[in-house]
Amino acid sequence: MLLFLVLTSSLLAVDGAAIYSKCAKCHGENGKHAAFGKSVRIAGWKVKQTVAVLNIFKNMSKYDKFARVMNRQVSKLSDEEILAVAQYISKLK
Ligand code: HEC
């Protein structure tokens, strides 16, 4: 499944950088900023880890105010978009 997504996302050329530009205001250009003083730095996270966490935020139905912020960010992202932004984050240093 993941391999399939990797292939389709490169074929469809979903733009991870464009998606990340919306994340940057909280997580910082380089993914090193603690969003709301709460999140850990996400720069360089492995693709699998980011995809898993974003899907947790996407699918959660109960959340505290911080997780709610992230639920809003990712609820409209497709699997391909989540993968593309995760690939982008994995390359942040
Ligand atoms: C409005 C501010 C805001 C925006 C925009 C935002 N985030 Fe977050 N993000 C947060 C907060 C706050 C947390 C901490 C949530 C928690 O601990 O429950 C977080 C947590 C995370 C985490 C988990 C890190 C941890 O501390 O465990 C990842 C990964 C993440 N965000 C990725 C993204 C991505 C990718 C985007 C863009 C699609 C994005 N965020 C957009 C505020 C934001």
| Distance from the Cα of residue 45 to its chain's centroid | 10
Tokens of 13: 């050329």
- Protein residues whose CB sits closer than 6 Å to any atom of ligand 1: 19, 22-23, 25-27, 35-36, 38-40, 42, 50, 53-54, 66-67, 69-70, 73-74, 85
Q: Each residue of 28-60: pLDDT tens digit?
A: 999 999 999 999 999 999 999 999 999 999 999
How far apart, in whole angstroms, are the C-alpha atoms of residue 59 and residue 63?
A: 10
The mean pLDDT value of the chain amounts to 91
How far apart, in whole angstroms, are the C-alpha atoms of residue 67 and residue 50?
A: 14
Tokens of 87: 């690939």
Residues whose CB is less than 8 angstroms from the CB of residue 62 and which lie 6 or more positions away in sequence, other chains included = none
CATH 3.40.50.10680 fits 2-90, yes or no: no
Tokens of 17: 């950088």
